[in-house]
């Protein structure tokens, strides 16, 4: 239960929803810039990969911030007993491992797919020669 | 959620009113049984959704290309062919955010035992949830009936080479494209090209692939298009750059996993919204009947419902991020 008065809780809720709305609009603006719909010149001025990472990272951080606001303000997690919030939030740390491990795996599969395509283009008798295979293996796949 | 209502333990007033919660002297973690278990249910549900979304991320990064969201999601009801990338799904996000806020207000009115206040804000929350479901129904209908996306067929492809489309005589047309440009594979006999009906078809929005329509209506291998058994028109083009320059190819389907992941994950979320709306209606009826007035526990059932409803909004934050923004 919140220790705030009714009026205080009401104003916190109003501020939170306005903040969430603004963040959502900012996210969509970033998505528009990232897809080159707005400021297409930025796509040429910057390294496209760097731009994707920067804008994508910004959207991920903003979404995480939105999630934290929803859990702590709307769901009142910040007003619960510390034990309660720990038992709910700490297990979620497993997802940090989950995200890293599976995206790593997915990236590796992408590399193997390209490797198979490359190898299939080599005539069968040449595939047996060690040098060619070695060449392909040393390529930076990840 | 239904069973714990029968035997309710009053957390806030137990020191004053006799038997303490959970019958063990202290309410564990200063929360009622029902509320604590709602939190643990949501924790388990968070892992379910995280599993699906991580699977989506894994399959997406392993593909050389992925459907471009601002191309796939660019139509808007009653806007005809106008291209409005991501606008409809942004509207859906705002509807769900708004209903989350009305739910907070309902919980707050409940804590001060204001029956009519709870009823009004819960009613608005129900409307928000129903509006969201309506939007999702429109989105799915558009994808399935107009753009022919299914769980196993993904007509949204992306060019990996630059090229130019060819016409029925094998000549190059004016319709050129660059690597990275998205396209939509149409199905024969669906009235695109000259037929600009008011059915909201995606012609101009998906202009890159619809400016030129092959004049065939039977499956087969034609000079300008390959029409498969199911009637999907894979338009042919001549590659103009790279190793394969000069070779004629036909448009390939996009990554197959996209349709299954999209329908399954947004469907699973929509199912949560649907069950949420049903529970909201049940609790709304109980509020109107005065059931929670008798319990004198600050409308705790509304608070528990609020936790679930905010969770649905929370999941949407990540669905919105992964399917539409990135």
Q: Which tens digit of pLDDT belongs to each residue from B75-107?
A: 888 877 778 888 999 999 999 999 999 999 999
B31–A6: do the CB atoms touch at under 8 Å?
no
Which tokens go with A115? 């490797």
**Which one of A1, A66, A92 has the shortest CB-CB distance to B317?**
A66
Query: Can you tell me the mean pLDDT for B16-27?
Result: 62
Within this chain, do residues A21 and A52 fall inside the same structural domain, yes or no?
yes
Q: Kindly report the nearest CA distance between residue B101 and chain A, in angstroms.
A: 6
Cα separation of B40 and B25, whole Å?
Answer: 22
- Answer whether A80 touches B (CB < 8 Å): yes
Within this chain, do residues A40 and A102 fall inside the same structural domain, yes or no?
no
Q: What is the structure's pLDDT at B106?
A: 94
Question: Which helix (H) or strand (E) covers residue A55, if one does?
Answer: helix A48-69
In a domain, A136, yes or no: yes
Chain B residue nearest residue A105, CA to CA = B58
Cα separation of B232 and A136, whole Å?
Answer: 37
Within this chain, do residues A131 and A71 fall inside the same structural domain, yes or no?
no
Within this chain, do residues A27 and A74 fall inside the same structural domain, yes or no?
yes
The predicted complex's ipTM stands at 0.84
**Unique residue bearing structure tokens 């409005």:** B84
What pLDDT band is residue B324 in, cutting at 50, 70 and 90?
A: very high
Within this chain, do residues A75 and A95 fall inside the same structural domain, yes or no?
no
In a domain, A137, yes or no: yes
**Which one of B46, B58, B112 has the shortest CB-CB distance to A102?**
B58
Per residue in B65-78, pLDDT (tens digit) is: 888 888 888 888 88
* Superfamily the domain B3-150+257-325 falls into: Cytochrome c oxidase, subunit III, four-helix bundle (1.20.120.80)
Q: What is the DSSP string of B14-37?
A: TTTSSSPGGGSSS-GGGS-HHHHH
Report whether B84 contacts B202 (CB < 8 A): no
Q: Where are the domains of chain B?
A: 3-150+257-325, 156-250
Within this chain, do residues A9 and A75 fall inside the same structural domain, yes or no?
yes
Return the number of CB contacts < 8 Å for A and B.
Answer: 142
In a domain, A24, yes or no: yes
What pLDDT band is residue B16 in, cutting at 50, 70 and 90?
A: very low
pTM: 0.84
In a domain, A97, yes or no: yes
Cα separation of B117 and B88, whole Å?
Answer: 31
Q: Greater confidence, A116 or B139? A: B139
State which residues form the domain around A123: 91-142
Strands B233-239 and B248-250: antiparallel
Cα separation of B104 and A70, whole Å?
Answer: 10
Within this chain, do residues A115 and A52 fall inside the same structural domain, yes or no?
no
In a domain, A29, yes or no: yes
Q: What is the structure's pLDDT at B15?
A: 45
Instruction: Read off the DSSP letter of residue B187.
Output: B
What pLDDT band is residue B4 in, cutting at 50, 70 and 90?
A: very low
Closest CA to B41 of B275, B242, B261: B275
Report whether A72 contacts A78 (CB < 8 A): yes
Chain B residue nearest residue A15, CA to CA = B101
Within this chain, do residues A2 and A50 fall inside the same structural domain, yes or no?
yes
CA-CA distances (angstroms) from residue B128 to A20, A27, B82, B133, B265?
Answer: 16, 22, 26, 9, 20
Which of B26, B61, B69 would best serve as a mutation to test chain A binding (most A beta carbons within 10 A)? B61
Boundary of a domain, candidates A56, A79, A102: A79
Per residue in B139-173, pLDDT (tens digit) is: 999 999 888 888 988 889 888 888 888 888 878 88
Closest CA to B205 of B165, B241, B156: B156
The mean of the pLDDT values for chain B is: 83
Please tell me the total count of domains within chain A.
Answer: 2
């Amino acid at each position: 239960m919140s220790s705030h008065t009714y009026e205080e809780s009401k104003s916190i809720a109003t501020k939170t929803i306005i903040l969430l709305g603004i963040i959502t609009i900012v996210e969509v603006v970033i998505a528009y810039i990232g897809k080159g719909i707005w400021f297409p010149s930025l796509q040429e001025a910057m390294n496209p990969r760097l731009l994707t990472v920067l804008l994508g990272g910004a959207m991920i951080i903003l979404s995480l911030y939105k999630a934290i606001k929803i859990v702590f303000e709307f769901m009142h997690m910040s007003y619960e007993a510390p034990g309660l919030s720990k038992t709910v939030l700490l297990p979620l740390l497993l997802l940090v491992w989950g995200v890293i491990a599976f995206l790593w795996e997915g990236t590796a599969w992408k590399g193997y797919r390209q490797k198979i395509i490359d190898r299939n283009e080599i005539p069968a008798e040449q595939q047996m020669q060690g040098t060619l295979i070695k060449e392909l293996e040393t390529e930076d796949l990840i | 959620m239904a069973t714990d209502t029968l035997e309710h333990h009053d957390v806030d007033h137990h020191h004053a009113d006799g038997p303490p919660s959970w019958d063990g002297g202290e309410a564990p973690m200063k929360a009622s049984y029902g509320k604590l278990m709602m939190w643990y249910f949501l924790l388990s549900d968070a892992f379910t959704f995280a599993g699906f979304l991580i699977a989506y991320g894994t399959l997406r990064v392993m593909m050389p290309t992925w459907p471009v969201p601002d191309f796939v999601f660019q139509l808007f009801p009653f806007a005809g062919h106008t291209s409005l990338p991501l606008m409809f799904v942004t509207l859906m996000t705002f509807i769900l955010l708004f209903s989350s806020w009305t739910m907070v207000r309902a919980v707050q009115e409940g804590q001060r035992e204001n029956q009519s206040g709870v009823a009004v804000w819960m009613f608005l929350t129900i409307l928000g949830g129903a509006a969201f479901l309506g939007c999702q129904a429109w989105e799915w209908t558009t994808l399935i009936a107009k753009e022919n996306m299914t769980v196993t067929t993904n007509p949204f492809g992306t060019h990996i080479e630059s090229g130019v489309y060819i016409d029925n005589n094998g000549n190059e047309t004016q319709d050129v494209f660059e690597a990275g440009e998205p396209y939509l594979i149409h199905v024969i006999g669906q009235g695109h090209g000259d037929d600009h009906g008011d059915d909201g078809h995606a012609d101009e929005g998906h202009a890159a692939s619809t400016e030129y329509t092959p004049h065939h209506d039977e499956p087969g291998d034609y000079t300008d298009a390959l029409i498969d058994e199911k009637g999907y028109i894979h338009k042919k083009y001549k590659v103009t750059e790279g190793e394969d320059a000069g070779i004629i190819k036909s448009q390939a389907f996009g990554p197959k996993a996209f349709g299954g992941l999209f329908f399954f994950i947004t469907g699973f979320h929509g199912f949560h919204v649907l069950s949420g709306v049903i529970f909201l209606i049940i609790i709304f009826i109980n509020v109107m009947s005065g059931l929670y007035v008798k319990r004198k526990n600050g409308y705790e059932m509304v608070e528990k419902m609020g936790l679930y409803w905010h969770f649905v909004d929370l999941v949407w934050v990540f669905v919105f991020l992964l399917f539409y923004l990135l």
